[in-house]
Amino acid sequence: MDEQEYTKEFDLSIWKRLLPILAKYKWIYAALILAELVWSAVEVMVPLFQRYAIAEFISRSTLTGFVPFLLFYTAALVTQFFVSIGESQATMYIEMYLGRDMRRDMFRHLQTLSLSYYNVTPVGYLIARVMSDTSRIAGMLAWAFLDILSSSCYVVGALAAMLLLNWRLALVVIVIVPVIAVLTVWFQPRILHWNRRVRKLNSKITGAFNEGITGAKTIKTLVMEDRSVRDFEAATGEMYTAGVKAAKLNAMFIPLVMFFSSAAVAIVLLRGGYMTADGALEIATLSAFITYAVGIFEPVQNVASSIAEFISLQASIERVTSLLAEEPTVTDTPEVIEKYGDVFDPKRENWEPLKGDIEFKDVTFRYPDGGENVLEHFDLHIPAGTTVAIVGETGAGKSTLVNLACRFFEPTQGQILIDGRDYRERSQLWLHSNIGYVLQNPHLFSGSVKENIRYGKLDATDEEIAAAAKAVSADTVVAKLEQGWDSDVGEEGDRLSTGEKQLISFARAVLADPRIFVLDEATSSIDTQTEQYIQNAIDHLLKDRTSFLIAHRLSTIRKADLILVVRDGKIVERGTHLELLKKRGYYHDLYSRQFAEESAARVLGA
């Protein structure tokens, strides 16, 4: 997905937005910290066991007390074993449920955002926010937190142990700690930067594959194979450079850290050796010291790089929280919600029945993302049961009127009345529950045919579903499918043809039994038999309903009581078919052209 650069400074206020999400898990975090203390204590003890073995048994050449020693050692390890299980489980719990909470909140919030938001936001962007950003945040808040916690506990414990064993020798080791920290602070942002670049190039290469495959026919006909291969190789070349660069930074960083930690070992060996030679230090203590010196720097580096990675999380947090803060542009007033309920908890008992009389009163409208007014002081009365066809070229803005009537957008000025009352006086869901919508590219959901039809009325019985399907000949689709009603339609219905999807979506609309019906007609060619079914289905749906037809076919246009002609976003003509033809204006031009196309197709198809 798009990898926006967020090179902002550290900003505490962004991090504070996480607190409400984390609050639920505070006890688990507390338990985690406690468990980590125990775990680290055992980890710090291991070199001490070694020291004890040398001092008590080897130096004295005796095995007295060896068995209790081993028992205690084992007990410590078993304790660590159980603590460690609990710890990992708790961390996994935090990661998954924190992610789940964020995904749930975002998804729910997105259901309330207006269509205008969806019009300007690519689906890929939303998916990346809901899926990737949340799992990154949750993963870091769980595992990176655990990492930082356990590493710092160990470092503190080991330092304490060393100070207790011999504070002068301990100071030698402590001097190296800031060196490692500084190294990490220098390297980590650079490593992260190159890693990000590698990720970016990776998606660029995926994009190039996509274009090379979907555009294969064009590339062949233009004989551009070699050029496109060269472009591709340039991209992979960039990837090579960036990949090597990122890996080299890493390759330099790790050995440097290791070298400094072995410098500490060398110093311990030298200083400790002096002391041992003078009799001021036992050999056993020296060996424990060396083990600490070897083991302490990896956790130090761990803490530093986890913190650096943690800071880079800020961009993800910002994206997630800003999406959650996004305000819908179409909202119900508190009074309306009070009476009619919101989308999640409707108060259906207070809903008045909808008859379907729609009136545009002095409506002026422009889309929220700018541009000029597409409607100005527009008046139109659509009595209940009227069929309105909207015609015009592709991309002329035919959906505007439907968007307004369905309250996907609200007028910039003026009013839209439904059954004589401003539609803002009642809830969006009240209106939407009375609309049946069939799209140009019908949208189905993964799942069976039956589930898809049931979407129109969630409590419908199988008989009702079958009846609805029969009414619009969608049962002919079902008959062709191997598993009948329970056949899976595939992701977004991609196992069915456009015509079949359309019939299913008609059935869905019939089941909903809406007062207002909207059809955005398909332009793509559909075989004659299916076409016939679709025409019958449309007839069935138009009966007794207020309908909007965004029409392409003459047969559909002719069904209308009123035709609105759209050009460059504006309504330029309106009237009945005959009136408009007589006018010999733009409609006449459009219609005769369409007529020529369709008649030719009819002759050729016959």
Partner 1 sequence: MESHFKLPWREKTALIARHLKGNVRFFAATVLCSCASMVFHAMTPQIIGVTVDSILDDKQPSLPKWALDLMPLDWLRADPIRALWIAAGAVLVVELIYGVLVYGRRATLARGSEGFVKSLRDALYRHIEHLSFDWHTANSTGDIIQRCTSDVEVIRTFVCNQLTEVIRTVFLIFLYVSIMLSMNLTVSLVCLVFIPVVGLFSGVFYKGISGRFKVADEAEGEVTTCAQENFTGVRVVRAFGRERFEVDRFNEKNDRFSDLWVRLGRLLAVYWASGTLLTSLQVMAVIAAGTVEAVRGNLSVGSFTVLVTYGSSLAWPVRSLGRVLSDMSKAGVSLDRVGYILSAKEEQDLPEAENVALNGDIVFDHVTFGYGGQRVLEDVSFTIPRGSTFAILGGTGSGKSTLVHLLDRLYDLGDGQGAITVGGTDIRHIKREDLRRQIGLVLQEPFLFSKTIRENIAATRPEAAGEELRSAAAVACVDEAIAELKDGWDTVVGERGVTLSGGQKQRVAMARMLVQDAPVMIFDDSLSAVDAETDVKIRAALRERVKGATVILISHRVTTLMQADRILVLDNGRVADIGTHAELIARPGIYKDIYDIQMSSDDRRLIEEGGNP
Q: Given candidates 130, 323, 507, 563, which one binds partner 1 under the rule CB under 8 A?
A: 130
Q: Is residue 191 a contact partner of residue 278, using CB atoms and an 8 Å limit?
A: no
State the Cα angle at 493 between 492 and 499, rounded to 5°. 130
Q: Given candidates 273, 280, 377, 579, which one binds partner 1 under the rule CB under 8 A?
A: 273
Pairing of strands 516-520, 435-438: parallel
Q: d(Cα 437, Cα 122) in Å, to the nearest integer? A: 22
Half-sphere exposure of 473 (CA within 13 A, CB side): 16
- Closer to partner 1 by Cβ: residue 288 or 413: 288
By CB under 8 A, the residues from 5 to 44 that bind partner 1 are none
**DSSP 8-state symbol, 558:** T
As measured in angstroms, the least distance from the Cβ of 315 to partner 1 is 21
Q: Given candidates 155, 162, 191, 219, which one binds partner 1 under the rule CB under 8 A?
A: 219
- Closer to partner 1 by Cβ: residue 361 or 492: 492
Q: Which residues of 317-342 are buried (b: 16+ CB within 10 A; e: fewer)?
A: bbbbbebbeeebebebeeebbebbbb
As measured in angstroms, the least distance from the Cβ of 373 to partner 1 is 19
Give the number of residues in contact with partner 1, rule: CB under 8 A.
161
Q: Given candidates 23, 259, 371, 463, which one binds partner 1 under the rule CB under 8 A?
A: 259
Tokens for 402, please give them.
Answer: 């439907």
Stretch that binds partner 1, among 149-157, 321-329, 369-377, 591-599 (CB under 8 A): 591-599
262 makes contact with partner 1 (CB under 8 A): yes
525 makes contact with partner 1 (CB under 8 A): yes
Placement of tokens 């996994």 in the chain: 92
Q: d(Cα 44, Cα 42) in Å, to the nearest integer? A: 5
Report how far Cα 542 is from the mean position of its chain's Cα atoms.
38
Q: How many helices (H) and strands (E) does the chain have?
A: 24, 10
97 makes contact with partner 1 (CB under 8 A): yes
435 makes contact with partner 1 (CB under 8 A): yes
Stretch that binds partner 1, among 6-14, 22-30, 112-120, 299-307 (CB under 8 A): 112-120
265 makes contact with partner 1 (CB under 8 A): yes
Stretch that binds partner 1, among 8-16, 79-87, 158-166, 368-376 (CB under 8 A): 79-87
For residue 389, what is the enclosing H or E element? strand 387-391
Q: Given candidates 14, 250, 308, 347, which one binds partner 1 under the rule CB under 8 A?
A: 250
For residue 436, what is the enclosing H or E element? strand 435-438
For residue 379, what is the enclosing H or E element? strand 375-382
220 makes contact with partner 1 (CB under 8 A): yes
Q: Which amino acid is at 118?
A: Y
How many other C-beta atoms can be found within 10 angstroms of the C-beta atom of residue 599? Answer: 11
By CB under 8 A, the residues from 469 to 498 that bind partner 1 are 491-492
Q: What is the CA radius of gyration of the chain?
A: 35
As measured in angstroms, the least distance from the Cβ of 600 to partner 1 is 4
As measured in angstroms, the least distance from the Cβ of 88 to partner 1 is 3
As measured in angstroms, the least distance from the Cβ of 593 to partner 1 is 6
343 makes contact with partner 1 (CB under 8 A): yes
As measured in angstroms, the least distance from the Cβ of 233 to partner 1 is 5
